[in-house]
Amino acid sequence: MKALVSWYDHRGFVLVSALVLVTISGCGGRDKDELPAVAAAGKVTYKGSPVSKGTMYFLPDKGRPSTGIIKDGSFTLTTYTDGDGAVAGKHQVGVLVTEEVPTKGGDFVPKYLIPEKYSQPENSGIAIDIPPAGNTNIQIDIK
């Protein structure tokens, strides 16, 4: 239970939960006023090497956020349905890469494998513009 409380208190958990809920809520269908998703996928590296696992968060200026699971440096974004992409326009981007590390008390806490600032789209300094035709060759290089 303490592990859950430790993780719940973590700042990133709130953002992750909100984005997941927004993404899941799209499963019931879209409103006619919602912006359509366009193909969006790419690769992410850290210090020149592909990020092996993690989660991408794209927060658009307008419209629904999108997420994508990173596997071997590649990701495909989801907004409404699995793999449908992201809304066109400018996005702030977050890259969350953590692993669970045991504490002395037997709990687990997240350890950031890339600097924590990149996990929150608002603070990462990463911005991507997705054109109306989509982009499946997005390149994100974190130094």
Give the CATH number for residue 102.
Answer: 2.60.40
What pLDDT score does 97 carry? 97
Predicted TM-score (pTM) of this structure: 0.78
Residues 6+ apart with CB under 8 A from 138: 40, 41, 42, 43, 128, 130
- Name the residue range of residue 64's domain: 2-27+35-142
For the chain, residues with pLDDT lower than 50 are: 1-11, 13-26, 28
User: How many domains is the chain partitioned into structurally?
Assistant: 1
Taking the C-alpha atoms of 137, 20, 118 and 104 in order, what is their torsion angle to the nearest 10 degrees? Answer: -130
